[in-house]
Structure 1
Amino acid sequence: MIFISILTLIVAKALPSINSNLSSVYFTRISAIVFIYAGVLSFNTLYIQSIGSGIGIYSGLFQVTVISQFIEVFLLVIGSLILIAWPLRSSLNYISLSKDENLAPSGSVELSYSTDFSLIVLFSTLGSCLLVSTSDLVSMYLSIELQSFGLYVLATLYRNSESSTRAGLKYFLLGGLSSCLILLGAGLIYAYTGLTNFESIYSLISVSEVNNIIQGASLGAVLIIIGFLFKIAAAPLHNWSPDVYDETPTIVTIWLTIMPKISILILLLELHTQIGVIGPLNSITINLSSIQENSIYLLKNLLLISSLLSLIIGTVVGLAQTRIKRLLAYSTISHIGFILLALAINTEQSIDSLLFYIIQYSITNLDVFLIIIALSYIINNSYLNEDNDSIKDIRYISELKGKFFLAPLLSLSLSICLFSMAGIPPLIGFFSKQFVLYSAIGSGYYFMSIICIIVSVISASYYLKIIKVLHTEVEEDTKLLQARTRENLSVIRSYKLTENKYTLLSNFHSFLISTLTLSILFFIFKPSLILNSTQLLSLSLFNF
């Protein structure tokens, strides 16, 4: 469905008659509808009774399972929500305001990048959907590259922005390095086993008594895991993440922090159950040789070390940040530490907590960035009378000072999201951390559990710092901003009625923020909707 839509949009963009008469905003809306429709089609496949442990397609290159289809639906829904929020941001970025307060465009800057954005997002999402279903080394590498190339282009989408170009170049170079590691690992596995299918490789390793085959396959698996840890910005391979997130536009940062991480984490999860990297397939007990056991412990300890470093570095370094997106980048690294801990434990309970953590992380992260975008609209509109004739992203935490008195509902929503990230009960973020800690303690990981508790307490300080800045009143500036906002709102509304190009905050954007915030706040009243789904998905990995 997505591939057909890509071909259709490419043809539509190439036709002069359609491209000149159809606004670029419609391409984004069409892409969002495509995601929703594709999600409905994927959701229908969940009712296939014979799906069992999976259905192989395309000669075994991909394996459709219950968990892959569920995550694919989730990816498509999140992608459609981000796309719907995009046109509003485009209009604010590319409308240059004149200095006489008339809000008329002072140049022929049109939303020409919106169609490019839609096509790139479709390509990247297609790679993500293929990645969660891959069951072969060849399809794995092609899917990760299809996803990554779209992300590299997204990071440099604003060609006139020096910081965006710098971030995209850095992302491309370091992302290429991680892809080389993945390709090298896949090549080593093929060289020692002569196979590319995950289940065939696992079956060969489980019965093989040749040490060279086991050692070569283990080395290849280590390189593949390191490459994927690089791509999800897990410590100590995280240095590129804060710089790229800070220098890219906020709407692109949303995509970078959510979509690729979900697909890669699900692939790592399925590698554990298909190849048996961490434990035997479907919990079937197999007599392993000493070298096989050592290889399993090596890979397990690799995830645990990365989890430990991610928890510590993401928390400690985040304390010194003054830029909002760099702080959220280190916050994401800390959350990756929790997810990798659940991944390394690899029990039914830990996989349940991992899936739940991914869902709540995506919802909370999406809400935070949408609120930051909304606040940037309001803050910049308050300064329309000044010489600054472009609307920019919020970059520093200090820019949020006193914004509770300017936009109280948005500030309260942001505070709720930050409390959830800190793990304050009874918000959804508290339960996700509790489930990971409960599974870790139940499996005997007491040291990691203590570290998780300590870093959760420490990380709450920099979340509280943002909340404190939000609710700190600056009397003169606040009154001036409120006056300018009231003055400019009337001008904006009149311009919107006449030109229909400029908008402050769309109804859907407001509805999306409110819905996500309420789901975070009132999760405790109806937790079974998500918990039952994640528990069934976890059981499906072990009971077939």
Structure 2
Amino acid sequence: MIFISILTLIVAKALPSLNNNISSISFTRISSIIFIYAGALSFNSLYIQSIGSGIGIYSGLFHITLVSQLMEFFLLIIGSLILIAWPLIQKNNSYKNINYSTDYSLIVLFSTLGASLLVSSSDLISMYLSIELQSFGLYVLSTLYRDSESSTSAGLKYFLLGGLSSCLILLGAGLVYAYTGLTNFESIYSLISVSEVNYIILGLSLGLIIIIVGFLFKIAAAPLHNWSPDVYDDTPTIVTIWLTIMPKISILILLLELHTQIGYIGGLNSLSISTTGYAELLNSISNISSSTTLGIDLVNPLTGILNLSKNTGIYISENSIYLLKNLLLISSLLSLIIGTVVGLAQNRIKRLLAYSTISHIGFILLALAINTEQSIDSLLFYIIQYTITNLNVFLIIIALSYLINNNSTVINKEDSIIALRDKFKVLQINEIKDIRYISELKGQFLSNPLLSLSLSICLFSMAGIPPLIGFFSKQFVLYSAVQSGYNFISIVAILVSVISASYYLKIIKVLHTENESSVELNIEESNNELNNTTSLDNNSNNNDLTLLTNFHSFLISTLTLTILLFILKPSLILNSTQLLSLSLFNF
């Protein structure tokens, strides 16, 4: 559906007769309708009875399950909401006539198509092609505003480092194929379950670990996170929404598929084999009749091998650590610590939110590493609440940037009338600038109380303040960690949650602090005052016009109420995530 729609929109944009008659806003609205319709088709497929155990399509390249379909539906709905809330921008003739909205919607369709394919990937080939389709769209989105040096710099940095992570994924896939001759995930799972610890499994383990490292790089998990604060800060805020939400959901769902199916990579990680012991082990396995005397239990051969190792020179650690779980736990611990501690020193709001995202990734990876029904339930719930809260925060920041830069101007008391006129002209002809520093939000509670209150609620939810939805997501993850015996990392997660509340409170404090050094004047009032002293251009239609759409405001209010009133009706989300987690372990 999305692929056919992309081809249709490309043809419509290529034909001058259609391109001239369809505005850029219409392209954006059409794209959002495409997302809604594709999401409805994806949701309708959940009623297929056999989908519980999964349906293979395209010769096994993709595997449709309940989790993949529901998360694809979730992705498409989030994408449609962002596009519907796109601002109404009209460019005057004095600037380059670049339809940013049109380009944005087409690239978003490409990137979301890659994300939708990635959550259902069941082969190394489809996995790599899907992640590249998603990533190339994000690279272009980062450099969408070509007149901005910071946007171009961010896009170049994102492209280079994203290409490095893609090389790691491709290297890992190549190693897996070189050692096994397999690319299908189901075949790899079967090989792991029936093979003993040998060079094939060791090579397979190395390849899969490199693939996981590449994906951790792309979701900005510590210690592979250094690129994300710079890229998030320099890209336009409307693009940052996609960077913080869409690619992370698809990659995390793929990691969930790999981790739950493999369980652990490479089996036992401590192995020492002598030449005589290995030969004696082969002889003992080939001679089943002598297995009793050698201590090999046919029901549980691992126990027999452990007993055999004492006499044959083979040593296998009984308390061996699972490699994949270790990797995820280390990345989770570093993400929790770095995302919180480094975030305390930030004075730019998008850099702070980037480190906040790294901290949230730490909670998600912790739930993923535990790999129980309860932890997977908490992981899916955390992804949903993270998406809702993060989307609302950025939508509010975008709305505040429109209001601060377009509906009001900040002037000093000592400014002359000429200075007022110059500021007013610059405000009218320049493009809307993003909010970059936390100090720019100073005193917004007095001028925009509802938006400031909504932003405060979202930040309290991110900090884990009850009874907001963010509190329950962290509680579920920590409860599953304590139940599984991960006490140390649970204590660290609690401490960093308390510490992270300080930099969220810093933003809230700035919002509610009165700005005494300036006086805010409404554009309409300042325009009347300036008209009494000097003449301005009366043709306002030639100026840029940016409007905060009604749906943008409605979406912010709806998401805020969802965060605030989740405790009154929690069963809808909780029951869905619980059923999905059960489906992973029971089918």
Q: TM-score, normalised by structure 1?
A: 0.92
1:298, 1:378 → 2: CA distance?
A: 50
After superposition, the C-alpha distances for 1:63-108 in whole angstroms (9 at most, x for unaligned) are 00000000000000000011112243xx1xx74xxxxxxxxx4614
Q: CA RMSD in A?
A: 2.4
2:168, 2:474 → 1: CA distance?
A: 31
1:436 alignment partner AA? V
User: Match for 1:511 among 549, 554, 559?
Assistant: 554
* Aligned equivalent of 1:98: none
After superposition, the C-alpha distances for 1:110-153 in whole angstroms (9 at most, x for unaligned) are 35222211111111000000000001111000000000000000
Q: Where do 5+ consecutive residues of structure 1 fail to align?
A: 96-104
Once the two structures are overlaid, the 10-residue window that deviates more, 209-218 or 522-531, is 209-218
- Does residue 438 of structure 1 match 2:479? yes
Kindly indicate whether the alpha-carbon contact (under 8 Å) linking 2:443 and 2:514 is maintained by their aligned counterparts in 1: yes
Kindly indicate whether the alpha-carbon contact (under 8 Å) linking 1:311 and 1:334 is maintained by their aligned counterparts in 2: yes
Kindly indicate whether the alpha-carbon contact (under 8 Å) linking 2:111 and 2:136 is maintained by their aligned counterparts in 1: yes
User: Match for 1:481 among 504, 507, 520?
Assistant: 520
The 5 A counterparts of 1:11-410 are 11-88=11-88, 91=89, 95=91, 105=92, 107-209=94-196, 211-277=198-264, 297-381=322-406, 382-383=408-409, 385=424, 387-388=426-427, 389-390=429-430, 391-410=432-451
User: Match for 2:467 among 395, 413, 426?
Assistant: 426
Once the two structures are overlaid, the 10-residue window that deviates more, 325-334 or 387-396, is 387-396
Instruction: Give 1:374 shift.
Output: 0.5
Instruction: Give 1:177 shift.
Output: 0.3
* Aligned equivalent of 2:420: none
* Aligned equivalent of 1:539: 582
Instruction: Give 1:208 shift.
Output: 1.3
From the superposition, tell whether residues 501 and 399 of structure 1 become closer, same or farther in structure 2 (CA, over 3 Å). Answer: closer
After superposition, the C-alpha distances for 1:269-297 in whole angstroms (9 at most, x for unaligned) are 001123344699xxxx9866887999971
2:543, 2:229 → 1: CA distance?
A: 37
Report the 3-state secondary structure (helix = DSSP H, G, I; strand = E; otherwise coil) of the residue aligned with 1:424: coil
Kindly indicate whether the alpha-carbon contact (under 8 Å) linking 2:87 and 2:547 is maintained by their aligned counterparts in 1: no
1:188 alignment partner AA? L
1:408, 1:534 → 2: CA distance?
A: 35
Report the 3-state secondary structure (helix = DSSP H, G, I; strand = E; otherwise coil) of the residue aligned with 1:305: helix
Aligned length in residues: 523
Give the structure with higher Rg (CA).
2
Instruction: Give 1:205 shift.
Output: 1.8
1:293, 1:408 → 2: CA distance?
A: 60
From the superposition, tell whether residues 498 and 155 of structure 1 become closer, same or farther in structure 2 (CA, over 3 Å). Answer: closer
* Aligned equivalent of 2:573: 530
From the superposition, tell whether residues 445 and 166 of structure 1 become closer, same or farther in structure 2 (CA, over 3 Å). Answer: same
After superposition, the C-alpha distances for 1:434-457 in whole angstroms (9 at most, x for unaligned) are 000000000000001000000000
1:421, 1:266 → 2: CA distance?
A: 21
Once the two structures are overlaid, the 10-residue window that deviates more, 468-477 or 506-515, is 468-477
- Does residue 461 of structure 1 match 2:502? yes
% identical aligned pairs: 81
From the superposition, tell whether residues 292 and 271 of structure 1 become closer, same or farther in structure 2 (CA, over 3 Å). Answer: farther
Kindly indicate whether the alpha-carbon contact (under 8 Å) linking 2:401 and 2:434 is maintained by their aligned counterparts in 1: yes
From the superposition, tell whether residues 17 and 106 of structure 1 become closer, same or farther in structure 2 (CA, over 3 Å). Answer: closer
1:31 alignment partner AA? S
2:437 alignment partner AA? Y
From the superposition, tell whether residues 527 and 486 of structure 1 become closer, same or farther in structure 2 (CA, over 3 Å). Answer: farther
From the superposition, tell whether residues 43 and 354 of structure 1 become closer, same or farther in structure 2 (CA, over 3 Å). Answer: same
2:481 alignment partner AA? A
2:119, 2:320 → 1: CA distance?
A: 25
1:292, 1:356 → 2: CA distance?
A: 36
- Does residue 451 of structure 1 match 2:492? yes
2:155, 2:353 → 1: CA distance?
A: 19
Instruction: Give 1:366 shift.
Output: 0.3
Instruction: Give 1:387 shift.
Output: 3.6
2:236 alignment partner AA? P
1:196, 1:296 → 2: CA distance?
A: 26
Q: Where do 5+ consecutive residues of structure 2 fail to align?
A: 268-298, 307-315, 410-422, 531-537
* Aligned equivalent of 2:511: 470
Instruction: Give 1:206 shift.
Output: 1.5
1:488, 1:295 → 2: CA distance?
A: 73
1:500, 1:526 → 2: CA distance?
A: 46
Kindly indicate whether the alpha-carbon contact (under 8 Å) linking 1:380 and 1:392 is maintained by their aligned counterparts in 2: yes
